[in-house]
Amino acid sequence: MSLDNLDAFPQFFYNEDEVNVVSHEDEDEPVEQIVDAERLQKNVDLFGDLHYNYTSCRLQGQRLSAYSNKGDAIIGGIFPVHYKYIFLEATFTEPPKPIQCEIFQIRSYQHAMGMVFAVEEINQNPDLLANITLGFHIYDSCYSEARTLGSTLWFLTGNGEVIPNYNCNSKSLLPAIIGDETSAPTISIARILGIYKYPQVSHGAVVPTLSDKQQFPSFLRTNPSDNFQSSGLAKMINYFDWKWIGIIGSDFDYGEIGSKKLEKEILKTGACVAFFETIPKNNYKNKVAYIIEIIKASSADVIVIYVTTPIIVTLMEDIAMANITNRVWITTTSWPNPQDFSKKDVLQTINKTLGFAHYSGAIPGFKEFLLGLHPSRYMDDIFIKEFWGKVFGCKWSNQNTSQVMRNGARGSDVMYCTGTEKLKELHMSVYDVTNFRMSYTSYNAIYAVTYSLHSLIACETPGPFSNGSCSDINHFQPWQLLHYIKSVRFKNSGGKEMFFDINGDPPALYDIINILLYEDGTNKFIKVGSVASSASAGGIIIDKTAIYWNKENNQIPRSVCSEPCSPGYRKAIRRGQPICCSDCIECSNGEIANETDTADCWRCPYEYWSNDKHDRCIIRTIDFLSYEDPLGITLTTISIIFTLLTGSILCIFIKFRTTAIVKANNQKLSYLLLVSLMLCSMCSLMFIGYPVTLTCMLRQIAFGVTFSISVSSILAKTITVVIAFSATKPNSKMKKWMGPVIPYCTVTVGSLIQITTCSVWLTVSPPFQKLNTQLDNEKMIIECSEGSDLTFWCMLGYLGLLASISFIAAFLARKLPDSFNEAKFITFGMLVFTSVWISFIPAYLSTQGKYMVAVEIFAILSSSIGLLACIFFPKCYIILLRPDLNTRQSIMGKTTITNRNI
């Protein structure tokens, strides 16, 4: 390899045999590197070798303190033991001062102790790493990318020095780095370690970008990707049926990627985002002031905070100062401990927060380990004194620990730590030794590296070596160990199976917690559910009864843009607003909405109608002119009485058929007229009762034909009268028309025309049964459709024509000389008949349903009664009450009628 290619491989670590390093005792002087190009060209490893020895290796720079424990294999750990840092101003007249860390985090310190506990536990287990002792270097990243990068380079260089591309550690193996806890610093580490294919296992970074093996080939994590956290949050939001959600993210990788993913997942569930605001790295105050105004103006009761821990602390304190209450805050795994908030007023605002937390798995013995921490026991722990002072609210004097323990000194204003304090006496809200959460992931990360080392040593599976050979534990390359870490699969001491998928991610599993804060400053984290990628019931399980809500009467918040539409109403989207904002519009008549918040109303089936609330279909009441109906009973009674009356008159005429008055009025036509009138009254009964197609067809036909016979008979009687009186005149030509031919022909022709019309009607478009739902919403009227309205009105028109001809003929013959001129009575009868049917037309057209039928029945009965009364009642009067007038002489006018002329 020529030196021309060196720029393409900055990852090379130089072997001491090929590099002569001249060291100066004065640290201010730079190191000189004399490189033999020929030997470098022969021996440089393309993938880098972190395990070559150096006798002297130093550069000018700052040293970084670490909590170290010696061992044959040293694992690096990077934890944000502090969560706030400051840069000191550079004067350019002296070397830059190191970054200063502030505000100790008890929680992150416990995460680091998870690594320490795992190392101690592994070293006591002879079955894992035989003849190899694990050690560690734990650095404090302080959430600073600069410190994180420095920690990484210090670890790679060894001996507390930073020399890029050099490894000055000649005594220990350097298997992997654990960390960092947050995503932004972790990405910086991953980009450097990816160059060397150096294994990195993060216990807290969740940004989905890290799953991209093209960018980060050597990165793995024991904490699930935030890709699933976003999906899990959306599932929880959908579980509580929240439709109007506020999101506050940040422009860091964690908040930016996660919040945008969350927005997409929320929209997939049909919910809406009320506002989506991002907190920038710069101009924080102005942006937060704007966000606070947005929150105040919004109707969203549920707000998701998707930012990193340091930003959450400042943001929630500003929100508390703005007196924003009655909101439910939904958190991610980055939510800080209540002790991290410096302003106590914020505790009321964040009380009863609901959110996600890392799965709190079991670590047997870890609780006792945490309670057994003590400065005198862990002298190499550079953080333990600060931890002790934090949890007990005391300060260490400048004396060493043993002196302080003996003296127990206490100042006037400051309580000094004595070392006699008991961790067991601390309240859980101060020092929680039950919920391990990210301590669990750091614990698993150490074991993942350990089991991979075990596999490498035992050569359990064919590794990435030539000819299936095994690697020497003292001379392996980072990428070789990475091969084993990717395929590692084990059960931890708590019995939970641990493995990585193809992207280096573990199975996703979160706890859903409810954070309770009490007036005495204590707090409690209640596990109310869980969400997992492999769980049933949609991946989420929640115990609603265990949740305390920041609402009146501890009610689950609604968080909707508009109230859901109750059954009977449909929602209409407000123009220009998200789909979750709508107005409720009542369903139209005949339509229902039997579900809450539906977008459409459904029309009821034909036989049904909507109730008053429009939430269900009710069967329509069947309505027709029945025999049980009062109107039907009345008409039926009248029809029967008229039929009987007509039949009685017929009987009278038959009994007194030999009398003069019966003979004088053409008894056969009288019989035919009476029978037809009887049939007319009887056909009216066909209009009453449940209509079927057969009755619909017969009733109008029967009515038209029987009335045609009746009117034709009356016309024939009138013609007979006219011919009879005209034939009595001398030399009258009407004598030849005397006889039954003319009357019978008149009846036959008049009836046949109507029969022909009705036959055409039945052939072309016959009447049929019809269900009328338009007249009354709550009723389904069963009626007869006339089929062809034209033929119906032709039938009535023909009856009107016959009636008009009969009326005119009778009217002209009314003054013929005779004591008993039947033409006069026919005139009155036809006058009644025409009057009834003329008034029938507007009445018929102005009514509907059973009342239309009743109008037609009334017209049939009234016209029939009018004809019967006008034509036959006078004759019956003479037959029954004045038999003395029932003589030929009286009819011919040859006797004097003393009482009364008819």
- Give the pLDDT confidence score for residue 156 in this predicted structure: 82
Residues contacting 362, CB < 8 A, separation 6+: 493, 494, 495, 496
Distance of alpha carbon 613 from alpha carbon 217, whole angstroms? 64
Torsion on CA atoms 556, 558, 563, 568, rounded to nearest 10? -40
Residue 776 CA, distance from chain mean position: 37
Query: Token digits for 233?
Result: 């949050």
Residue 182: CB atoms within 10 Å: 26
Distance of alpha carbon 261 from alpha carbon 229, whole angstroms? 9
Helix (H) / strand (E) containing 621: strand 621-623
CA angle 758, 760, 761 (to 5 degrees): 60
- Preceding peptide of 432 cis, ω within 30°: no
Query: Token digits for 138?
Result: 């734990």
pLDDT tens across 194-231, in order? 988 999 999 988 888 899 999 999 999 999 888 888 88
Cβ–Cβ under 8 Å, residues 231 and 265: yes
Pairing of β 602-603 and β 617-619: unpaired
> What residues pair up with 82 in beta bridges, in sequence order?
104
Residue 713 CA, distance from chain mean position: 77
Residue type, 352: K
DSSP string for 414-457: -PBP-S---GGGS-TTTS--S--THHHHHHHHHHHHHHHHHHHH
CA atoms lying within 13 Å on the CB side of residue 507: 13
Cβ–Cβ under 8 Å, residues 692 and 782: no
Helices (H), 684-729: 693-727
Residues of the chain with pLDDT under 70: 1-63, 87-88, 90-91, 159-161, 169-172, 398-413, 460-468, 521, 534-538, 665, 724-740, 814-821, 891-902
Helix (H) / strand (E) containing 462: none
Helices (H), 474-591: 478-486
pLDDT tens across 544-563, in order? 989 999 877 788 888 888 88
> Judging by beta carbons within 10 Å of its beta carbon (0-12, 13-18, 19+), is residue 322 exposed, middle or buried?
middle
Cβ–Cβ under 8 Å, residues 350 and 316: yes
Distance of alpha carbon 897 from alpha carbon 675, whole angstroms? 32
Residues contacting 23, CB < 8 A, separation 6+: 31, 56, 57, 58
The CB-based long-range contact list for 898-901 (8 Å cut-off, 24+ gap) reads: 901/819
CA atoms lying within 13 Å on the CB side of residue 355: 24
Residues contacting 817, CB < 8 A, separation 6+: 725, 893
- Give the pLDDT confidence score for residue 405 in this predicted structure: 42
Distance of alpha carbon 621 from alpha carbon 609, whole angstroms? 10
> Judging by beta carbons within 10 Å of its beta carbon (0-12, 13-18, 19+), is residue 897 exposed, middle or buried?
middle
Cβ–Cβ under 8 Å, residues 616 and 594: yes
Cβ–Cβ under 8 Å, residues 428 and 456: no
Start-to-end C-alpha separation, the chain: 148
Q: Label residue 553 left, alpha or beta by phi (over 0 means left) and psi (-120 to 50 means alpha).
A: left
- Give the pLDDT confidence score for residue 283 in this predicted structure: 78
Closest to 233 (Cα-Cα) out of 355, 75, 134: 355
Give whole-number Cα distances, 552 to 300, 327, 524, 549, 561, in Å: 16, 11, 20, 8, 19
Residue 764: CB atoms within 10 Å: 11
- What ranges make up the beta strands (E) of 730-855? 768-772, 779-785
- Give the pLDDT confidence score for residue 13 in this predicted structure: 38
Residue type, 466: S
The pTM for the full model equals 0.62
The CB-based long-range contact list for 262-269 (8 Å cut-off, 24+ gap) reads: 262/230, 262/233, 262/234, 262/304, 262/306, 264/230, 265/230, 265/231, 265/233, 265/234, 266/234, 266/237, 268/234, 269/234, 269/235, 269/237, 269/238
Residue 34 — φ and ψ, nearest 5°?
-110, 115
- Give the pLDDT confidence score for residue 271 in this predicted structure: 92
3-state secondary structure of 390: helix
Cβ–Cβ under 8 Å, residues 233 and 265: yes
Closest to 442 (Cα-Cα) out of 193, 80, 721, 811: 80
> What residues pair up with 32 in beta bridges, in sequence order?
22
Residues contacting 507, CB < 8 A, separation 6+: 224, 499, 501, 532, 533, 534
- Give the pLDDT confidence score for residue 535 in this predicted structure: 53
